[in-house]
Homo-oligomer: A and B are copies of this chain.
């Protein structure tokens, strides 16, 4: 924004531009929008920011985000605590919950091992996962990291740590997306679909 703009607007624009996926133009648009909001709406927004940051933290069991000491999934006695699905982010839990087909527990790593980005195993929530498995009662750990180089590397690393603990370590299946067509599938996906073919 040009320097003839009111300074508090420039500051607000810069704050919006720090958010992921929001460039300077979108940030300026959002800052102008805030100007057109009612004062109590802006206060509600600012309060929601502070409140979320203050009250939401990691679940002491699965590292999911929660405003309690343990998240509702860990607290739910109807869920199967013998299966742990390991994901990269809390958002991935939302995706699994939407399927309505998974009744086990989760564990959020909060990242993937990536030496290039300076993310080492110690930066992830791996120790708390190992503690959960060592505490007993876990039969299967599902590696549900993304099918990327970093996701695969993290899954491999974890499976090496987990196998000595006598749990079954599995990985999500890769293949054609349901509703997709062969024509538009990339080579690697098609190869995985062929490799993992099932008896009909």
CA A1 – CA B64 in complex, angstroms?
A: 14
**A68 proximity list for chain B (CB < 8 A):** 6
Q: Does A34 contact B (CB under 8 A)?
A: yes
CB < 8 Å neighbour of A46 from B1, B8, B46? B46
**A19 proximity list for chain B (CB < 8 A):** 30, 33
Q: Does A49 contact B (CB under 8 A)?
A: yes
Q: Does A118 contact B (CB under 8 A)?
A: no
Expressed in whole angstroms, the minimum distance between the Cβ of A48 and any Cβ of chain B is 4
| This protein's copies in its complex | 2
Looking at A8, A9, A14, the one whose CB has the most chain B CB atoms below 10 A away is A8
Interface string of A15-57 (1 = CB under 8 A from B): 1001111000010111111110101011111111111111110
Q: Does A89 contact B (CB under 8 A)?
A: yes
Q: Are A94 and B8 in contact (CB under 8 A)?
A: no
Given contacts A1-B94, A5-B65, contact A21 B11 (CB under 8 A): no
CA A7 – CA B55 in complex, angstroms?
A: 10
Q: Are B65 and A6 in contact (CB under 8 A)?
A: yes
CA A108 – CA B103 in complex, angstroms?
A: 57
Q: Does A60 contact B (CB under 8 A)?
A: no
Q: Does A12 contact B (CB under 8 A)?
A: yes
Q: Are B65 and A2 in contact (CB under 8 A)?
A: no
Q: Please list 22 pairs of residues, one from A and one from B, whose beta carbons are closer than 8 Å in the complex, sorted by A's number.
A: A1-B94, A2-B97, A4-B71, A5-B65, A5-B90, A5-B94, A6-B52, A6-B55, A8-B52, A11-B52, A12-B48, A15-B45, A18-B45, A19-B30, A28-B91, A32-B91, A34-B49, A35-B52, A42-B49, A42-B50, A46-B47, A46-B50
